[in-house]
Amino acid sequence: MELATDIWVWVAAILTLFVYSFLIKDNPLYKFAEHAMGGLGVGYWTAVLFYNVIIPDFWEPLTIAIRKLSMTPQNFDAFMAREGFSQMPQIMQDFSPGVSILLLLLPAIIGLLLFTRYIPKIAWISRFSLAFYLGAASGIAIPNTFQTRILEQLRGTIVQDAPDGSVVPLFSFDAWRDFFAAPGIETFFDAISGPLLILGVVCTLSYFFFSKEHKGILGGMARIGIWFLMIGFGASFGYTVMGRVSLLIGRVQFLLTDWLGVAG
C-alpha cells in the first residue's frame, strides 16, 4: 500500500468520496459536489467555446479582414508577420475583405439575437434566429436521414453484403438447403436468422403503426412485434447494467490504484 503524494489525486479522491456519501443519504457534502460540478462544467464550456470557436472562427478572421481594409499593404504584411499568421483566413481566400466582414458579422448577429429571449419586450426577435437555425438544421437533415435510416435499413432487411463483396438475399434458400443437407444447431440458426430478422422488422414496425386499430392480422403482427421489442429492451437492460457497473469499476480502480496504491 502506497498512498498518493500528488495533491491533485487527493482532491479527486475526496471529491469522489463526497459524491459516494449520497449512498448513505443525501447530505451537504454531496450537494456541494453536485453544485461545484455544475459550475466547473459550465465554466469549462465557456473557456472552450472562447478558444475553440470564437477566436478561430470569428475573432481572428474578422480582425484580419478589418486590418486588410484599413491598412496599407506593407503595414498589413507587417501585421500578419508580427501576429504569426502565415496565411489568409479561409473566408478571405474566397471573398473580398468587405464581403468577408459581412459574412462573419451576419451569423454572429443572428446568433446574438438568440439572447433577446431573455428580454420579454423584444423576445420575439429571437424567433428570427431560431427560424434560420431550425430551418437549416431540418433541411439538411431530411435527405441524409432518409438515406441512412430508411433506404439503407430497408435494403438491409432484403439483402445483405457477404464478406466476399457479393450481395445475397436475407431470406437465403442456400442456407435452408444447407440445413436440410446437414441438420444441426449452427445450420439451423444460419437458416432461420434472415427470415426472423425480416419478420421482426415488419412486426415491430406494425406495432408502431397507430393509424389503424391493432386488431386481426395487424394485431397479431403487433403482438409479435412486442416480443421482439421485449427481447431488444432486455438486451438493452443487460447492457445498461454492464455500462453502469463499468463506471463504478473505473472509479473504484482510481481509488484503489491511484489514491490508496493497493491494487495494480
Partner 1 sequence: MKKLLQKLLVLDRRWIFLVIGLVVIIALVAPCTTSIGITTPVQSFYDIIDNAEKDKPVLVSFDLGPSTLPELEPMLRAVVRHAFLNDVQIIATAMLIQAPGIAERILVEVTEELNEEFEDQGIDRRIEMGKDWVFLGFRAGVAAVMLGIGEEIRNVYPTDYYGTYLDDVPMMQNIHNYYDMSAVVTVSGTQIPESWVMYAGGPSGVPVLVGVTAVMAPNFYAYLQTGQMAGMLGGLKGASEYERLMDYDGMATKGMIAQLWVHVTIVIFILLGNVAYFVTRSGKKKRLSVQR
Partner 2 sequence: MRRQIPLVIVFVVGLFGALSYFIMEPVIQDLREQMLTWLRIIAAFALGLGIASFLRNHGRRMTRQVPGWGFNVVAILSFLSMTFIGLVWGIEEGTLFRELFDNAQVPMEATMFSLLAFFIASASFRAFRARSKEATLLLAAAVIVMLGRVLDFDWLSGITEWILEVPNGAAQRGIIIGVGLGMIATALRIILGIERSYLGGE
- Residue numbers 121-140 binding partner 2 by CB under 8 A: 123-124, 127-140
Q: Report the residue number, 63 or 214, with the smaller CB distance to partner 1.
A: 63
Residue 176 amino acid letter: W
Cα-to-chain-centroid distance, residue 248: 23
Segment 31 to 70, residues that bind partner 1, using CB under 8 A: 41, 44-45, 48-49, 51-53, 56-57
Q: How far apart are CA 240 and CA 206, in angstroms?
A: 27
The SS3 assignment for 209 reads coil
Select from 72-80, 81-89, 172-180, 237-245 the region that touches partner 2 (CB under 8 A): 237-245
Contact with partner 1 (CB under 8 A): which of 70, 75, 96, 253?
253
Tell me whether strands 167-169 and 159-161 are parallel, antiparallel or unpaired.
antiparallel
Helical axes 73-83 vs 60-70, angle rounded to 10° = 150
User: 3-state class of 185 per DSSP?
Assistant: helix
Classify burial at 191, counting beta carbons within 10 Å of its beta carbon; exposed 0-12, middle 13-18, buried 19 or more.
buried
- Does 139 contact partner 1 by CB under 8 A? no
Closest distance to partner 1 from the beta carbon of 216 (Å): 28
Scan residues 56-75 and list those touching partner 2 (CB under 8 A). Answer: 57-58
Minimum CB separation of residue 151 from partner 2 in Å reads 10
Distance CA 120, CA 136 (A): 26
**Residue 130 · residue 121 · CB < 8 Å:** no
From the centroid of its chain, how far is CA 233?
Answer: 21
**42, three cell numbers:** 459550465
Residue 81 vs 99, nearer CB to partner 2? 99
Query: Looking at residue 263, what DSSP letter applies?
Result: -
**How far is residue 80's CA from residue 191's CA, in Å, rounded to a whole number?**
68
40 binds partner 2 (CB under 8 A): yes
**Binds partner 1 (CB under 8 A): choice among 26, 34, 161, 174:** 161
- Positive or negative, the Cα torsion across 66, 68, 70, 71? positive
In the window 87-116, what residues touch partner 1 (CB under 8 A)? 87, 89-90
| Contact set for partner 2, span 141-200 (CB under 8 A) | 141-146, 148-150, 153-154, 156-157, 189, 193, 196-200
Q: Judged by CB under 8 A, which of 32, 69, 169, 263 binds partner 2?
A: 32
137, 182, 185, 217: residue in contact with partner 1 (rule CB under 8 A): 137
* Interface residue list for partner 1 (CB under 8 A): 23-24, 41, 44-45, 48-49, 51-53, 56-57, 86-87, 89-90, 137, 140-141, 144-145, 147-149, 152-153, 155-156, 160-161, 197, 232, 235-236, 239-253, 256, 262-263
